[in-house]
Amino acid sequence: MKPLLLILALIPAIAHADGDIIVTGQGLDPAKGDAAYDRITIDRDTLLQSASGRLEDALRDAAGFQQFRRSDARSAHPTSQGASLRGLGGNASSRALVLLDGVPLADPFGGWINWSAIDLARLSSVEITRGGGSGSAGPGALAGTIALQSLVASADPVVEAEALYGSHDSVDARALAAGQIGSGHVMLSAHYARGDGFVPIIASQRGPADVAAPYEQASLAGRAVFPVGEGVELQANGLLFTDDRTRGTAFTANQSKGADASLRLVGRGAWNWEASTWIQSRDFASQFASVNAARTTSTLTLDQYSVPATGLGARFELSPPLGEHAELRLGGDLHQNEGQTREHYLFTNGVPANGREAGGRTRTAGAFADLTLQPTDTLTLTGGGRIDRWWIENGFLHQHTLAGATLPGTASFADRSGTETSGRAGIAWQLTDTIKLRSAAYLGWRLPTLNELYRPFRVGNDATAANPLLSPERLKGIDAGFDWRPLPGLTVAATAFLNQLDNAITNVTLSSGPAGTQRKRQNVDAVRSQGVELEANYVQGPWSFGLDYAYVDARVHASGAAAPLNGLRPAQTPKHQASAHLGWSKGERTAALVVRYVARQFEDDQNSRSLADAVTLDASLAWPVWQGLSLVARAENITDTRVEATISSANIIERATPQSFWLGLRYRL
């Protein structure tokens, strides 16, 4: 937290800077070459109309967005909440690069996203770029990039507060204040949510061991933007969060907590540049249980009582003046993630016999260059590449009895390193005033997370082992599409894509039986994903309509020990996803309906157990009742559709959010 404390110390001096200096709170302007890539924007109004008030649910309306599980951050296990796009899921770690104000958001140990840490009210927009090889954004963008942008600086003060009460004795409250201080701008936001939760196991399969799964979550975020010289602004961000959940039986509590801080300097002028640094301090704890066949008792099997992790990074980007028709961006970045899992296992009558510590460190150092040319007003050519050096270091596994004796399996793993090259190139042609054609090719890569390398886990009676010898994943892909505006207010977009993910990390089944399934993380030859994304949006007066659809045909290519998976679909990857959004907005009066469809998908790598398809309906309404005060009503899963989230080897089904209603008040200045 030292960088954040330094900024807080500087604020009083900076706040009295003289002159009419305008700060934006944003990074450098979007690259001109972005016109060649498949990009969509979710604006603030759409985000705030989410019936659940949660970012991960708002993102479900983007064609192809996927988490490993269908449940959200109130009931899912945190480690299942990686973000992916274009059917490249099948793994709980994120295969899309998620950024908040240019800084990586993923957990430094596991690669999952702590969605509950991000309050929707603090965001101005979300930019989603589908397709790998992020270039200047950093390594890890196999499926694409999801860029979250905080509220931009404004001369007008913003004060918002909202409190809702809902089903399952739930409370959802948030507050935000933003405004000018001297020549700068500050923002503070807070969010608190709790609920008794619902029973995850479906009613027909429940037993005495099954209970509701409560949650309690809170976050506090601060942001300060100040000028520090002519054309230069300093942006400081701080985030604190805590997240406590259980999984619907005894001995399944889990907790995530974190403290993040970042600094970003942005210079605008003849030479545009950006420099940033960040730190993430995270900790995670989770218990795992086994439930007997009659579901009468739950037994503690694994207690990961602490998984501390630290992420550090720095990035620099420079854009020299090349004239109106050319843009060059150069730079480099450094990333370091370090952590370990500390756990007790082999329980008898609730008392553990053994302990285990495992972890290590990963580092990357990269350099990038992106060049965009616009030889005519209708043609954009862009291309770039990056080279990264990676290290996997200090890996260890220490297993011991709690009496102190060392157990078999204790090992120190040899350090490894390598070099990866990646890049992307694209073309955009404005064929007419209303039609743009675009195409892109890309190469990307992702380093295994510390979680995949070192942390085993259990889901009920099913266990998955880590693998310290995993290799990096590598992606190659192409896409082509068009953006069309046939009528005023109407936009239509379509994109076809083909991706191949080599060395794909997946959970490979080793054995399966009545006592449970044993899996291990392994690199398989490849996952090949091809498909189409379709989007249509229409705005007419106060009315808006949106339709998003993704078709994905994804297949595993495997040999050797994983040969039984060859030709199968990756786990947790539906073939069809769709959403339709109908909105009405007139001042503070807003209403929205959202229909979502997700097709059948397989729970496991062997495609032996499937999760049924589902259609859900959500609604939200805000209506002013007094000056600045509005009545807010929300409804999730109105039809109480059974959305299957998991199915165990014993065919026990767990569901996602059931029918839920919310009512409350919102105040806006």
Q: What pLDDT does 516 receive? A: 72
Do the beta carbons of residue 511 and residue 461 sit within 8 Å?
Answer: no
Q: What pLDDT does 13 receive? A: 38
- Give 350's contacts (C-beta < 8 A, 6+ positions apart): 300
Q: Given its phi and psi angles, is residue 404 left (phi above 0), alpha (psi -120 to 50 degrees) or beta?
A: left
Alpha helices in 446-595 (DSSP H): 450-454
Distances (CA, A) of 476 to 67, 132, 550: 21, 8, 20
Half-sphere exposure of 599 (CA within 13 A, CB side): 13
Per the DSSP assignment, residues forming a β-bridge with 610 are 602
What's the 3-state SS for 213-262?
Answer: CCEEEEEEEEEEEEEEECCEEEEEEEEEEEEEECCCCCCCCEEEEEEEEE
Q: What pLDDT does 382 receive? A: 96
**Phi and psi angles of residue 535, each rounded to the nearest 5 degrees, phi first:** -145, 140
Q: Given its phi and psi angles, is residue 321 left (phi above 0), alpha (psi -120 to 50 degrees) or beta?
A: beta
Count of positions (residues) in the chain: 669
pTM, entire model = 0.93
Domains of the chain: 2-668 (2.40.170.20)
Nearest CA-CA partner of 302 in 150, 163, 457: 457
Only one residue has tokens 């290799």, namely 471
The 8-class DSSP code of residue 449 comes to P
Tell me the torsion sign for CA atoms 429, 33, 139, 222.
negative
Question: Reduced to 3 states, what is the DSSP secondary structure of residue 115?
Answer: helix
Of the chain, the end-to-end C-alpha distance in Å amounts to 32
Question: For residues 640 and 214, what is the distance between their CA atoms, to the nearest angstrom?
Answer: 19
Nearest CA-CA partner of 358 in 340, 382, 374, 373: 340
Average pLDDT of adjacent 10-residue blocks, the chain of 669 residues? 41 39 82 92 90 92 90 91 87 88 94 93 93 82 92 82 97 94 92 97 96 97 93 95 96 96 95 96 94 93 95 96 94 96 92 94 96 96 95 95 89 95 95 96 95 80 85 96 95 97 89 76 94 96 95 94 91 94 93 96 91 97 95 97 92 95 95
Nearest CA-CA partner of 214 in 192, 196, 232: 196
